[in-house]
Chains A and B, each alone.
Chain A
Amino acid sequence: MSETLAVAADLLDLLTDTGTEPRADRQLDALTLAVTADLPVLLWGEPGIGKTAALTQLAASLDLPLTTVIASVHEPTDFSGLPVIGADPAVQGVPMAPPDWAVRLVQAGRGLLFLDELSTAPPAVQAALLRLVLERRVGALRLPPGVRIVAAANPRASAADGWELSAPLANRFVHLTWTYDQDVVVRGLGGTWPLATLPRLDPARLPAAVAYARRGVCALLTARPALIHQVPKSELRRGVAWPSPRSWDMALRLIAFAAAADTSREVLSMLVRGVVGDGPGLELLASLDRIDLPDPEDLLADPAGAVLPERGDLRQAVLDGVVAAVRQRLERSRWDAAWALLVRALETGAPDLVVVPATTLAALRRDDWPLPAELDRLAGAVTIARRAQQVAAGADR
């Protein structure tokens, strides 16, 4: 009998002996970046989808000890501290004693705290978790900066007896939806799981990254003050990310980290939308896209060396910006530079993009300015404009 069990143990060892490989996995990248940025992450996923496995793996690759706390089986006092009465409570007060896992985390100075089953925790426990997640306090203890917090929850529909996450708690997390990727699962069951690689932060880019993040967030919130604070009201948005000054601050930190680590836009998109919600997140990314476009004044200063974006819609936005800049401060030299830019755009990309800016620019001409020398090089655009015009006239008839 014992022999069978020994052989079974060998077999189990063989089964658990799996390798890892570096692999582009967006949700793992997003999780790693948020953990690096020291923001609490909340993973939403159906039961059994591999949230816990991903966490174990992340802890191993970050070399952090993993402490798992199942929130739903704990009492509020486990997070706010257990009152312990001393000899003279009236003088000494009642100290709130922290549970053993918190003490061990503080002694280690570092670790990954994993709060599982968050959505099935009763409301009173969720309220007690607020302080742990935001202020990192458990009773009288303060968790050291080296401790990172990740939580997991099942979506409302799949948790039979789930509570919805209260809006204040939801606002403190980076929400990531955990789904499975067929390739990752198949390859993982074949013995090789993806390896979580730490983002490589470039020390030389830190100040620029902070400036970039501040500019992006401030530009958006100056233009759209309504986005600063929106407590979820409708049924749809309860228990998920929503914008508030706190979550904008988190978004700013994520953008700075993503810029310093040169993370892809997809990963940043997941993170930002998980912090401020889908709509505001998309607006923020659109605002960052605008910042990424070349500055019209730079282009006008050096039209010969200008690099225009390849994508048609971005190129059109840049050309419109250039014409608007010329219109704002109309000078002969700037007007000529804009024509040179249009020629450059025509030579390197689709000609129809040039038509509207060229028409606007031509209308800006002062009477004493000669026609630009580049005009005959724009012939391609002119023919296209004429053909489209003919069709439009035909349609009007």
Chain B
Amino acid sequence: MNLDEEKLYAARLHATRARPYLAAALYALLPVACTRVPTMAVDRHWRCYVSPAFVAATPLEELAGAWVHEVSHLLRDHHSRSDRYAKRTSLTGPAERLRMNIAADLEINDDVYGDGLTAPAGTAQPERLTLPRDLLMEEYLGMFRLGPYTDDLSWLDCGSGADGAARVWDLGPDGAHGLSDQERDAVRFRVAEGITGQPGAAPQGWRRWAEEVFHPPQPWRELLGDAVRAAASGPGAGNDYTHGRPSRRAAALPGVVLPALRRRQPRVSVLIDTSGSVSDAELGSALLEVTAIGQAIGGRRDTVTVRSCDAAAGVAYPLCRAAGIPLTGGGGTDLREGFTAALAVRPRPDVLVVLTDGQTPWPQAQPPCRTVVGLFPRPTAINEDHGYVPESPPQWARVVHIG
């Protein structure tokens, strides 16, 4: 059976008109006629394998939807993400790959169809598996198993571009106009640039993709840890050279004062100020993270102190007791009072870590020690009526957004 190229290309033209922001990616796909593919499939080198029978049997609108669907797999890098997931969980069997394909489909299908592109009957949609919409493939993967709900999805096969497992029909990395890593990145970058340049044209899901594709969000635990570590080991605390003590090498150079490496235990003071809106689990894990790092740097337990404002005492107290951290209650209900109280302690702390939801006034002047702010997302519903916009944390603090 010959491939009806005219229909296939007409469908692509329709797809680029319906989704102009994906045009560059759609044109970069190289269609390859292949009788072994059930419907349409992509590989990681941006080749699109098309079954001639599928093209003949499918209406043009649905074919255009299939084009957009397949290119979405590639733009969202599903093959690498599947490989990473498989590596992390050591699940690599064919059933797992099918599950990855279904999860990848769930991620993209909510914004593929509609507006001129019709979904064929039986596409994987979150509602069919009674799952929420707008999640990522990795999140979906943890939420369903193959079972009666997915029985009629087991025909799905979007190729190695969707789930990372090689297929018999794949042409391989060399020749046949496959795109190299760098070319793939360039295409994805161009599409992302186009979407961020004209944000009105693309739906929410694609705008989010464009923002994050080359600036992936990093886990806050690492960022908070890095911030605390850096603050506690910067000049003035931790290991560094000072002229405060003569170097041991000075004996070889009489009359010259060489700096010596001097180690001082950095003192970390943690200030908790939340209005109870932050989930206990998140506050607890942030607190334990910070204190663990503080103790590791200081080498002693008593180098970390925790001070809590009244509202958060209920969460902080049991945690601190369990971990053996000294807790000082009652810094007032205002963060400024908490700052004053924490800085009044002698010897003064080297690092002040503030865990807050940001609904608080900040001190005007920069405190005489490094400040790290762990900012919890603030609940939006409370403030809308009053028109009260909380101040953003000041410039002198290193801010890490948690959650």
Contacts and interface: CB of A to CB of B under 8 A. Distances in A.
A164 interface: yes
Contact of B12 (A83, A123, A352): A352
B181 A235 contact: no
A391 B11 CA distance: 9
Contacts of B179: 311
Contact of A235 (B61, B226, B255): B226
Given A123-B235, A311-B28, A388 B17 contact: yes
Interface stretch (B19-27, B142-150, B153-161, B199-207): B19-27
A313 B24 contact: yes
A114 to B, nearest CB: 23
Given A122-B241, A265-B183, A282-B186, A163 B230 contact: yes
Given A75-B241, A392-B17, A289 B10 contact: no
The number of chain B residues touching the other chain, given as a range, is 35 or more
Interface stretch (A14-22, A201-209, A369-377, A379-387): A379-387
B185 A312 contact: no
B95 interface: no
Nearest to A72: B239
B153 to A, nearest CB: 26
Contacts of A268: 182
A20 B121 CA distance: 57
B190 interface: yes
Nearest to A77: B258
A236 B10 contact: no
B248 to A, nearest CB: 10
A351 B13 CA distance: 9
B185 A269 contact: yes
B240 interface: yes
Contacts of B214: 278-279, 282
Contact of A313 (B28, B60, B255): B28
B184 to A, nearest CB: 10
A124 B256 contact: no
27 contacts: A75-B247, A85-B255, A122-B241, A123-B240, A124-B241, A124-B259, A161-B233, A164-B229, A235-B227, A238-B230, A264-B180, A265-B183, A279-B215, A282-B189, A283-B193, A286-B186, A286-B189, A286-B193, A311-B28, A312-B30, A313-B27, A313-B28, A384-B13, A385-B10, A385-B13, A391-B60, A391-B64
Given A122-B241, A163-B230, A286-B193, 19 more contacts: A75-B241, A76-B259, A125-B241, A164-B230, A236-B218, A266-B182, A282-B214, A285-B186, A311-B28, A311-B30, A311-B179, A313-B27, A313-B187, A384-B13, A388-B10, A388-B13, A391-B10, A392-B17, A392-B116
